[in-house]
Structure 1
Amino acid sequence: MADAKFFTKGKVQELREELAAADKRDTKHTKKRIVLKKIVANMTMGNDMSPLFADVVAVMQAPMLEVKKMAYLYIVSYARSKPDLAKLTISAFERDLVDPNPLIRALALRTMGYMQVDKLIEALANALQKCLADKDAYVAKTAAISVIKLYTYDRDLAQRTGLIDKLRSLLNNENSMVVANAVAALSEIAEKTPDFDMRMDFTLSSKLLTAMNECSEWGQVYILESLLYFVPQEHGDAEVVAERVMPRLQHANSAVVLSAIRVVLYMTNYILKDDIVNSFFKRIGSPLVTLLHNGPEVQYVALRNIQLILQRKPDFLKNDIKVFFCKYNDPVYVKIAKLEIMFRLVTDDNIEQVLPELKEYATEIDVDFVRKSIRAIGKCAIKIESAADRCVTTLVDLIKTKVNYVVQESIVVIKDIFRRYPNKYEGIITTLCENLDSLDESEAKASMIWIIGHYSDRIENADELLSHFSDSFKDETSNVQLSLLTAVVKLFIKRPTKGQELLPKILKWSTEDVDNPDLRDRGFIYWRLLSTDPVAAKVIVFGDNPPITSEMENLPSQTLEELFLHISTLASIYHKTPQMFIGGLRQKKVEPSAAFVFVTSQPMADTWMAMFCKLKVVSIKNHLTF
């Protein structure tokens, strides 16, 4: 609040005069600091202070760190709009780069990296040559990050001046902070450059794991991410790295935990014995469950990553299904993610625990969550045959609540249950028919029409019920129209006297009054079949339906394996590879090696091993080193 007084509009000429006056008899640089605060405040308010560029450059000579910070902030803000004036700062930066104070040296280097002006880029390259070898760890780690900025702006200059090689040499630095920043810089360069060789051998990986013990939490994340460039050539190497990473699963920071899990999962690709692989999967279960005790954002990230792991290993966390029961105060996105995991883990042994939970969720306020809960009940009935009776009873109880959206969603899932278990639950059709007037959603209408048509020989007033839907035929959506057309044809085939009045009307509307080509074509086909060969019509209309399965839609195996290399990133949350939403990124993959055995698919393992033999990779220690 003390600096609020500086946020008043000032004139450029007055501020210039104040800077000039402050240069006299201001040994403690107090006046310079006050004037610079006024300039920065005016910049913040959107006032153009660029005419003061030369005056602020002159102030950079003051040895006070606070003054330099504000002067650097000003220069960064206007350097790109005033590239001709930016060259005036070169001599000032060169003086600061040799200052005895490492904070000033690092600050000058970081500021030069932010400016990215042609006239300063050569000076930045020269400065990095010295700063990468600086004895002070803070300066060296700042230089490592600055190499990324130079590489992004001028890739050829960074390679031509040998800065990448010097950056790699920092991996052997004694200071873990420097190592972590060098790893972060190299990893980012590798992400942006497909042909950049970032692979490392076992010796270097061991050094990085040792340095990780003294790193900050974000330094540990960078090092863990870099371990995905290590390609073990022996099964034992993969086991050793995985074991050394395991202690990170107990870290308080969720990013460290998830990054460690990613490394462990990556290393399991190179481990031959299934029992060892299974033990690693078991050991990463508890840390993932622990993450569910954090805030909703961390919970969601953990849940989305668990969903990925379950697609590869369905019995993962099979004994921890209660952990995924929804809490009353969970955000809806967390509840839906938990719901998917619950369905993946539900079995004949735990359905008694899951079904009451799902029924309770179906009575909550959030409509979307209620719908998904009802669908989960229906999927459980399809997945677990022994529990189908209980699931259907639960759905009937929900229908009796007379809540509109609950009734409609229940009818949709019951249709699939009828298809999965034909001629088994027809006794509930009467209950369904009592709710015809409450149906106003197209999917529910289409499902109810299918049920009436399919069981038209058992529903006495089927013709009246279908006639009820036909009154608004022309105004219905295409899926309702298609369902009604087929249902009326089924009624006519099973009970010609009941359907003979309704069928011509529906066929006429379908072929003459509707623009939908699918509906029109189907109407013509039915008309021709019924007029020429009723027997063939019956075979076609009552032919075998596609089988109903409860399996959730899984990702393609290749996509899934790539996403395993992006655990804890946005890709694992979107369940899409990074290339699908960010351009120019390097594709990650499990590289072939002498130790490579793909545990989930033996044919795939054979393919990779054949590729490995073709490449004739003799030993990673010979040529895949930094």
Structure 2
Amino acid sequence: MPGLVLEQMLSPTLSSHCADCAAHLQVQYVALRNINLIIQKRPSILANEVKVFFCKYNDPIYVKLEKLEIMIKLASEKNIDQVLLEFKEYAQEVDVDFVRKAVRAIGRCAVILERAAEKCINVLLELIQTKVNYVVQEAIIVIKDIFRRYPNQYESIIATLCENLESLDEPEAKASMIWIIGEYAERIDNADELLESFLETFPEETSIVQLQLLTATVKLFLKRPNELAQRVISLVLSCATTETDNPDLRDRAYIYWRLLSTDPEAAKDVVLCEKPVITDDSSNLDPLLLHKLLGQISTLASVYHKLCGYTFEEDSQPQGPGLEHSPSGHAISPSDGGVSAAAPTASTTAAASPAMMGDLLDMSDGIPPAGTAPPGKQAGDVDDLLGGLDIASGAPAAPASAPPPLPILMQDPSRGVTIGGQLERHAGGLAYHISIVNSGAVPLSGFMIQTNKNSFGIAPANQVLDLGVVPPGGSSHTHCPLTYDAAKLVPGPANAELQVAIKTDQVGVLFIKDVVRLEGLLEESGAIDGASFLAAWKALPAEKQQRLTGLLVQDLEWAKAKLHTANLFVLAHRPVPSTPQQALYLTGRVAGPGGAQIMLELRLVPGQPGIDASFKSEKADLAQMAFAAVQAVLSVQEICDVGVTV
């Protein structure tokens, strides 16, 4: 029955007079995208209906590619023969891109289904025999992945692959073939000659081919250290270290050279070590994201495979399912993390604007000091930049104020739960301050917390939340200590998004999105001395600048105290020459594996709105988070209360 319904839904009409054919194809694509989500969670639902997703000759390419993905996910030992027969037909069509995808699909099936791997390889060999250039090259690429998945099992086909060396002209195919030769150098009689043939064009090759050729020649030398292998490795190492501008290639060559010249046995342990088995999860979504998307089936989220509430609505008032709203109607999204304190909205100042800190560092015509310059030196000397300034000595007294209530992160009336939370400093460490309001009919208990991978490696020190039992109509809050876990760290530019899962015994798992507040990550011991500040500022690349609007500072001492409470330490302040502005120099240290020393210059006129901020750090990607931190610390904002007085 499911198959019949699917066939009726996915089969386009063949009538050329159908006025709504294009609309039908769009509906078909939407259905396929939703099915793709469902079978990632429950593949058994359509395990016997793979034929429904076979491509038709008049399917548009976007429908074909989606069907291809679904067929890969539904492939099993029972239906693999049917699926491979289809893929083989697709690999002989005229659309080059679709043909490549079909060949890759065969390889992915081999990686996923161990018992069907031999059948997949036989189909790939048949395709190689067609001698169609792009088919042969794509087949070699996927066979390399099969070798990585099943080492030392299918080496008998290497001879067939080597017959097609001259037809390889694409970088990925060349790199794959070179990897195969290097990996099985001891079983290929003329491996040294084959690798030598690639050396003629080594300087002109792309980096992926050069890197693979370098590693393959090292493997060859370690496995078969004959005279030709020695000559090949010498040529490659010499070229890679002296004739290339690619730092990755050059550094790897130096490492190999040092290993081979000092300890060949250590080189074997490094280069010829056992490699982890690969898997095919390239098209599978993160489980946390998949769970949320399945709750948004029939919305745009299930078509784009992105959360609508956090992706498609930014400037306008969000509408539609899946969006959380505060009692005032404000949509909570990662852009504000549930905090109504506005993030900086002004765009970054153009690169042509004058460097703010540089105005003070590089002036040689005398700077009016805040005090008198020492004898024998002029007030404008760089060494005395901080000498006559009002250096912050000790911690200024923080202005007395009650801590604000927590921002709303999630409100689910259907389950009677409202969650507020915020990452902050607590008891000298990092903690997640979280509150629960129970508007349901049953008590809530058994609270647990977990974080997804993030840019700062933040994870709960204890997954159990000490919230006790929250009765109907009641609320509770606690500080969950956080730690830094390398396994949770996502490499790359800093991303402030933090995904959190809260579990209760009564309502199950609740997923929330928050933002990492930089002021919560700053260490209490993050201050540095003036000399270190100046040296670091001069050594780092050009600063990032931004105009922070909506800020009005009447009292500099108040501003210093507020910044100090957020562990942004005011090193010094001074008047800016020939302007009514005052300059504050701030420093702080971000804790954890994604941390770094940050430095800020703030220029402002007391009593006038707006602050010109300039940022430098070895991690320049923290700039926007630093600007947001200053904006939040120096703003007086109303924050949505979740019913918990902290």
- TM-score, normalised to structure 2, is 0.48
Structure having the higher strand fraction is 2
Q: Which has the higher contact order (CA 8 A, sep 6+)?
A: 1
- TM-score, normalised to structure 1, is 0.50
Structure having the higher helix fraction is 1
